[in-house]
Structure 1
């Protein structure tokens, strides 16, 4: 039941933070994480290209308003952020001038457009949201639209504080935003919405229905063996850690808490670039190659990363590895309430991700290293031999199998089940930063974004490409790999790492390896 609290004017407490929200807020407060960004390239219908700047801004603003009303997590503020039990509160209104920003570029130089996008993307990854006092008055998300002249394209970036929602939630937002743009109609030549007066959006007086935290929707069963093993790893005496160090942990990359700076790199595999290099090959055919080898793009990137890290680190620094895959559990949720404005459970903008760890033991890593060339030009890299490709597909298929088993197991023995026993997240995350880093890399794939709401129609909006990125997560994986695809339009693979812990040249070489090998695999089709 909603409770009244005194915070200036009366504020309605909607619910306490869930486990994921509290854990992510603790990272933010400790400056272990800052922001996440999902950017999409929108193609403007010809009927709107010539619209005035003012009219185009109205079209976009009204569509944003409709997404806000569909997804209540975009409507709420927060109180008691530094306590052990922060809460979401109802807001009476939003000042959209604080959440929507336009960047206009003159001229026709497409390079300027691309450079502005990448620069804006990188800046927003490391930007902090307003202070905690402001969080009680506005949500932790912002939208930036970049346009050059009267070009028929817009770049739309949504940057968000992870407690508000996750990367899959941002993907849902873009898909709903696209749908709303396509169905919006002008009334008497003007785009209007009730409750919208200039930049001030008056929110409904009735408390919004928030998506329920994952732990309140599903049980989180822990088998005794899993629970005991997790407790032992967490609390075993330090001298035992020194005597029996787990060589698969990322000791090669010590955790450093400051100074905070994200290094971010990305490459695209779209129809145009792939055709220029590979003839008629397109990203969809990589998917077909994955299917032939019983894996997925996520599994393939895990396998390619294993080879890249084995190549770039020697056996003394890293005899074995651990990595993780970020899992979206919306598929495991019960049906959404009939009156939920977002519709089905898989369309909830909230926090429903956990992680699945993977281990690559010493014997496997040694076998892969034996099949690498004796010498390697660090700048040019290597191609994958037939022997390495056999190892790649075996590892990738095993990774996919682990993911399938996790999907089938649902939330049994999931790390979020352990999280429910944490009573002080800031202390826990502060202590984690003092330990040996566990993961050398992780893969977080928000999946395939639907870039069209209908059959090809040049009078409809569409999405031509997407780019997803995380700010550096200080105690998490050394390098975080974030692919995102647009159906029929190709894929972007990005990576981030903490500048204070990972050498820039090392990170760039890992990314160059991934790009080179994806191109090589595509060329073999």
Structure 2
């Protein structure tokens, strides 16, 4: 006798419930990270097909077998008692789609990639109790344009309760490093290419965030935070007004817009060198450049008297050596915290002044962000808001209570670091054994694009960044349609592009 009742594993942790409830309400649906694969010409014949290659299926199978969060579902996501479930069989073909894109220019294809990235964010996962909530879409340009030869873009979209952005980058690294991408054309491994995977035994899951970290909360921090959130407004000083687009509105259609910006390796190196000399991080500099752009593009002090921004932080470095299982040190999972930055009316007015030394102010504001990030990171995991999530007993009431309220931030910058392509795994002996045979070669990533979906109850715009070592640094801008004007996002993209171009040309000036 068979049963359709899923086998429950552990209960979702606090940050996992945070994401599970948002997905169920439709106010945040997935994270998406796409990777552009450049294939050696000798192994690119499959790029004219609408099916994934056997080597891709085998590589994906390898990753899924080794990553437990890719083979679980979520039961009870409409409740505050959601659980991960054991999915005993996965047909990878149900998780992959391939589309050929006719295009006449590189820009036409880039626009299609950005459109696909936004589309991924707008889809809700279905049947997630019995089907792992992640998917892969592959776009292949059908074109004679030289720049588009031998490439495909692989989109990995996943439920945020399964993992975070850093894990999404690691997934792509694992995929390209999987053994099936290596070998010779005459010796494929048909067993590895089987798309139907069986997992009769429940997986061992990584601990939830609060189980793997030593969060500690002082009474002063706890009371201060609860007072800020729950205290009656008439007893608290008025909050500093900030620009935050429109109020949170659950009734608006969920549609994510995406725009991309690429910095060349030379532009990136010039910026990184300048960051080192000014003792700031690239993330801190980007916050300052976004502030500079928005201050100029929204010149009204009444409309934008001040700004606030957020930076998600990875908690992987802070896992407790006694509470976390070392077997899951490299597991894909969700481990995130955040830091908030406030840009005062005085800081904004200084940028708007007719005699402003904008370049000097850019570095000053970047140092302000760097100092806040350093202070935050020095405290983790003490007195962090993530340690207070356990006090939220009803996530659905929490989110619905945000509907109609002002947003707390103006933007968010999430930096998931540097993607490293795998080196060839062949040893000298293996090279000798394959001498004279056709080498399939190893596909390599030349660009990653990372975006958040529209954050209905969060910042009005996301600025997400990732780089490929030795290749492009890519900024993914995302926003909800009708929440932020398209014109403003176009201006922001123009400014972020122009800042990098100007700085590379001059070596010391953004404007």
Instruction: Give me the TM-score of the superposition, normalised by structure 1.
Output: 0.86
For residues 15 and 46 of structure 2, the distance between their equivalents in structure 1, rounded to whole angstroms, comes to 43
SS in 1 for 2:391: coil
From 235, 241, 246, give the equivalent of 1:253. 246
- 1:142-181 aligned within 5 A: 142-148=135-141, 151-180=149-178
Instruction: Report the equivalent of 1:268.
Output: 262
Q: For the aligned residues, what is the CA RMSD? A: 2.7
Q: 1:294: Cα distance to partner? A: 0.9
CA-CA distance at 1:306 after TM superposition: 1.5
Match of 1:191 in 2: 189
Aligned mates of 2:479, 2:52 — CA distance in 1: 37
Distance in 1 separating the partners of 2:485 and 2:416: 27
Aligned twin of 1:100: 96
Contact 2:181/2:443 (8 A) holds in 1? no
Pair 1:397 & 2:383 matched: no
Alignment match, 2:280: 295
Question: Residue 499 in 1 paired to residue 481 in 2?
Answer: yes
Question: 1:483 Cα deviation (Å)?
Answer: 1.2
TM-score by length of 2: 0.88
1:363 aligns with 2:346: yes
Corresponding residue to 1:12 among 1, 7, 27: 7
CA contact (8 A) 1:249 1:436 kept: no
On the 8 A contact 2:51/2:98 being kept in 1, the answer is no
Ranges in structure 1 where 5+ consecutive residues have no aligned partner: 1-5, 272-280, 373-384
Q: Aligned equivalents of 2:412 and 2:485: distance in 1?
A: 17
Secondary structure of the equivalent of 2:6?
strand
Q: In the alignment, which of 462, 471, 475 is matched to residue 444 of structure 2? A: 462
Take 1:10 and 1:56, find their aligned partners in 2: how far apart are those partners? 32
Moved more, 7-16 or 510-519: 7-16
1 CA distance for matches of 2:361 and 2:105?
Answer: 44
Is residue 51–residue 97 contact of structure 2 (8 Å, CA) maintained in 1? Answer: no
What does residue 381 of structure 1 align with?
none
> Equivalent residue of 1:437, what SS?
coil
2:125 aligns with one of 120, 126, 129: 129
Alignment correspondent of 1:327: 313
CA displacement 1:21-70 (0-9 Å, x = unmatched):
10011112222112221111111134422468599611000100111012
Unaligned runs of at least 5 residues, structure 2: 144-148, 427-438
Of the candidates 87, 95, 103, which is equivalent to residue 83 of structure 2? Answer: 87
Shift of 1:263: 2.2
Cα contact 1:358–1:399 (8 A) shared by 2: yes
Cα distance in 2, alignment partners of residues 60 and 436 from structure 1: 45
Q: 1:286 to 1:452 in 2, by over 3 A?
A: farther
Counting matched residue pairs gives 485
